[in-house]
Structure 1
Amino acid sequence: MTPPALAQDTRTRLLESAILHFAAKGFDGTGIREIAKSANANSALVAYHFCGKEGLYLEALKAIFARKVSPVALLKDLPPAGSPGARKAALKGFQDYIRAFFTEIMSCGSDPVDEAAMILVGREMQAPRTASSALLMEHLKPYVVYLTNCLQILRPDLNEDELFTMGVSIQGLVIHFRNSIGIIRLIRGNPAYPEDLDRIIQHHIDFSLRGLGVPEAFPQPRTQPCS
């Protein structure tokens, strides 16, 4: 009988190997044997621990979503629309959301599994598999809800479709920056870019707020009356 600690270690190795291989080759291009070989495990253990390749893929996604607490999940709830201070809170909430989301997707560092996890989730978002769609939506729902709540308060004149399009545009700016970081660094001729991530984040915040048309985000200096 396999000791529990050893079984858990094997399971973890299989999951990390699966994340690396699925990110590199996708679901269809990845075989169970190569995952098991990289994890130094018997391929039969994939069926034992995960009930096959599909189960392993789903558990790999679950492991990715559980690797770190999302900073977006820690954001303070917004007050109801129309209540005192709601607009001010929504403005701060919007800025905090962009900062949290940007920081999260740029925080892979040098860990190859973290980088592969980001690639795999990006691949899944581009072409969600039927079996994993519900899991993906469960993970993304807090992001969509929080950003939409901010937008509803800041732009109450927008209808549902307009709010959706605005939200997609704002999210897309951040995701595009992350997905294009390689070519951006090549264009800049700087493999370490951006050294000042806070400045880039603030640019995205300001750019999005100007696009939203939120005048109080950019208060104008008072002019001195003519003497």
Structure 2
Amino acid sequence: MTRPAEYTRHSILKAAVALFAERGYDGTSVRAIVAKARVNQAAINYHFKGKEGLYLEVLKVAFEGYLRLDNFDPERLKDMPREEALRSFLRQQLNPLLARNEVSHYIRIFAWENVRPSKALRSFVTTSAMPFLASATDLVRRFLPPGASDQDAMCAAISLMGQCSVFVRNREQFRQPPFNLKVDEAFVERLTDLVSALALEGLARQRDGEGLAPGRRAE
């Protein structure tokens, strides 16, 4: 790809990230992206095959931005003792609370997806998010009884990530009344400790068979 083409592609992505973060997928028109990026519509079709292709690329860029911020390394987690790995994973999940600039846009984009999921989300989850979920599931499985099903492990991993994402998605609201949370490094460390403690207690119940559904208790 030539340098002018790279510049055009970057300009489109930058404009799209800002607009999708502000307005969501449905509220953002191709015309608005074209105007903000100062390109013609043909450039979007050429580089991304239309609005949906562009948005899928934005989701990938946002997710990769999350992983870079979190320094996510599944192999490193495997080498840690399980309690230490759990806390490290949760700290990584809560790290975006301290993010600024571009990552703030990424947070808003995924917040929109929670309110109004787009058609591109399923394709994104299949191609980009599943390896991450698999790593989280592997981590949680270290705490579950040997007889736990794949579904139990995946649901536990999703629940664990959800406890963090609710804070990340709503961080601006939590800074305002009536919450008035002071979101700084110390707060994130305390929150990590709290979520870790709650998760360890819940996973211990699962391991002991107390949290499994009737007829599915661990032997």
The two structures have a TM-score, normalised by structure 2, of 0.77
Aligned counterparts of 2:141 and 2:111: Cα–Cα separation in 1: 27
The answer as to 2:152 corresponding to 1:162 is yes
Give the Cα separation in 2 of the matches to 1:126 and 1:18.
Answer: 19
Pairing 1:99–2:91 present: yes
User: Which residue is equivalent to 2:200?
Assistant: 209
CA separation of 1:38 and 1:181: change in aligned 2, threshold 3 A: same
Equivalent residue number for residue 85 of structure 1: none
Answer whether contact 1:71 1:101 (CA < 8 A) is retained. Answer: no
Shift of 1:34: 0.9
Provide the residue aligned with 1:183 in structure 2.
Answer: 173
Partner of 2:54, secondary structure, is helix
Distance 2:103 2:75 in 1: 23
Q: Supply the distance in 2 between the matched residues of 1:29 and 1:21 (Cα, whole angstroms).
A: 9
How far apart are residue 115 of structure 1 and its match? 1.4
Q: Which amino acid aligns with 1:117?
A: Y
Give the residue type in structure 2 aligned to 1:31. S
8 Å CA contact 2:98–2:185 kept in 1: the answer is: no
Superposed CA offset, 1:117-155 (max 9, x none): 222133335554344423223322233222222222212
Shift of 1:22: 1.8
Q: Does 1:146 align with 2:128?
A: no
Aligned counterpart, 1:198: 189
Residue 154 of structure 1 aligns to a residue in which SS?
coil
- Aligned counterpart, 2:106: 117
State the Cα distance separating 1:195 from its structure 2 match. 4.6
**Distance of 1:65 and 1:195 partners within structure 2:** 22
TM-score by length of 1: 0.74
The aligned counterpart of 1:221 is none
- CA 181–14 in structure 1, closer or farther in 2 if over 3 Å, else same: same
Distance 2:103 2:148 in 1: 37
Which residue does the alignment assign to 1:173?
Answer: 163
Q: How far has the Cα of 1:174 moved from its partner?
A: 0.4
Q: Match of 2:6, SS?
A: helix
Q: What secondary structure is seen at the aligned counterpart in 1 of 2:38? A: coil
Give deviations 1:189-227, integer Å, cap 9, x for gaps.
35x42351222212211221122227xxxxxxxxxxxxx
CA distance in structure 2 between the partners assigned to 1:7 and 1:160 by the alignment: 45
What letter is aligned with 1:148? T
**1:107 Cα deviation after fit:** 4.4
**Cα 1:7/1:164, change in 2 over 3 Å:** closer
* Runs (5+) with no aligned partner, structure 2: 206-219
Given the superposition, is the C-alpha separation of residues 135 and 28 from structure 1 closer, same or farther in structure 2, using an over 3 Å criterion?
A: same
Shift of 1:8: 1.4
Secondary structure at 2:28 match in 1: coil
For the Cα contact (< 8 Å) 2:21–2:109, is it kept in 1? yes
RMSD between superposed Cα atoms in Å: 2.7
